[in-house]
Chains A and B, each alone.
Chain A
Amino acid sequence: QNLYVGDQVLRVYARDNVQLELLRQLVATEHLQIDIWRSPTKLGLSMDVSVPFTSLQGAKVFLESNNIPYSIMIEDVQALLDQEQQDMKASRL
């Protein structure tokens, strides 16, 4: 089983084409292993990216240093997955 302990999903907003290009660079950085959950490349729409715990600091520093606004959509992906598993078990019972 893959574990996602501490991984977060960030909702990122690009304000202009420069920020959009920076975002593309961020997600293309392979060692960060960012998984795009939703990837509109159009201005005004948000982008959701799942970021492994080990890449969180790097990703957030990148966003903040480039003044790209973001919010934390999911605090801990694993906690949510555990909850989902529990809900499914309860439903079966």
Chain B
Amino acid sequence: QERRTNSFSYSTYHTLDEIYSWIDNLVSEYPKLVSKINIGHSSEGRPLYVLKFSTGDNKPAIWIDNGIHAREWITPATGIWTAKKIASSYGKDSLVTDIIEQLDIFLLIVTNPDGYSYTHSTNRMWRKTRSINVGSQCVGVDPNRNWNAGFGGPGSSSNPCAETYHGAYPHSEPEIKSVADFILDHGNVKALLTIHSYSQMLLFPYGYTNSLAPDHEELNELAKKAATALSSLYETRYTYGTTIATIYQADGTTTDWGYDNGIKYSYTFELRDTGKYGFILPASQIIPTAEETWLALVEIMKHVKDHPY
């Protein structure tokens, strides 16, 4: 058991229990800034814990989630490092302090805890949730095809055995419903950042249609700035653009749902790819990945702070 966040190893991958224990430690070390909110449960009953970074007063908020695809281990690892960075920078780094004094930050480190747990116990390459599909032997839904935005379109699959199965209906997955309900109930989320791996891309709406978002130009400019900031540290090359134009048509995704529900700054990160390991990114790359991603996150958070709407 690692009882203090300072002695926690940020350069290795951790189980769900270790991550949840670490969350408690972070909250106890920064009680005036960080709190833990249980926003719901997974289909197998695991809690969904969100870290809230706030100085009080229910300010406009930035949402960040990691680990929606179970096998993308680098994303919760990056989320842990990011949480510590936010907490330890407040009051020391003027930009981070300014951001937190004007905006709350919600950080979900493991969006798909059932899947994540399954990757540690049974199948390292599992991607989906672990919900039962009535009438099928195949388990799980792709949680990034389950959102109510272009749900069920050709950029997803109706086959429960497929990796991109969209589920029986929008928000059928309790993990997705919990997040969607939380964000809608909050009512003042201004940015939604969802962290994936491993294509080195920064994507924004839309994925389900070729139509450009009304805020396309601003989103594109900000993506360019964020990708440039990210690359400045280790020269990691990022491409950016709309999901549909940059990679493929994808229906029912987080960012499209966010944008369609009034959250202008909706982005998907695809973290680094060494070109050699795919999802099995060596643990030695966790901290460099988190460090470079942080620069892009800060660029976006600063823009959100400076452009209220």
| Interface, chain A (partner B; CB < 8 A) | 1-2, 4, 9, 11, 35-42, 45, 48, 50, 73-74, 77, 80-81, 84, 87-88, 91-92
Q: How far is the CB of A37 from chain B (nearest CB, A)?
A: 5
In the assembled complex, which residues on chain A have CB atoms less than 8 Å from the CB atom of B279? Answer: 37
Number of A-B contacts (CB under 8 A): 65
Complex CA distance for A2 and B123, rounded to whole angstroms: 5
B12, B125, B199, B280: the one contacting A38 at CB < 8 Å is B199
Cβ–Cβ contact A35 & B283, under 8 A? no
Categorize the interface residue count of chain B.
20 to 34
Q: Answer whether A81 and B124 are a contact pair too, CB < 8 Å, given A38-B198, A38-B199.
A: yes
- For the complex, is B163 an interface residue (Cβ under 8 Å from A)? yes
| Interchain CA distance A9-B279 in the complex, whole Å | 11
A18 CA / B123 CA spacing, docked (Å):
34
B247 pairs with A40, CB closer than 8 A: yes
Closest to A45 in B: B247
Contact with A along B165-182 (1 / 0, CB 8 A): 000000000000000000
What CA separation (Å) do A91 and B248 show in the bound complex?
38
CB–CB B276/A73 < 8 A: yes
Complex Cα gap A23–B96 (Å): 46
Interface presence of B187 (CB below 8 A): no
Any A CB within 8 A of the CB of B234: no
Contacts of A9 in B (CB 8 A): 278
Alpha-carbon distance A50/B11, docked complex (angstroms) = 26
Please give the distance in Å from B285's CB to the nearest CB on chain A. 12
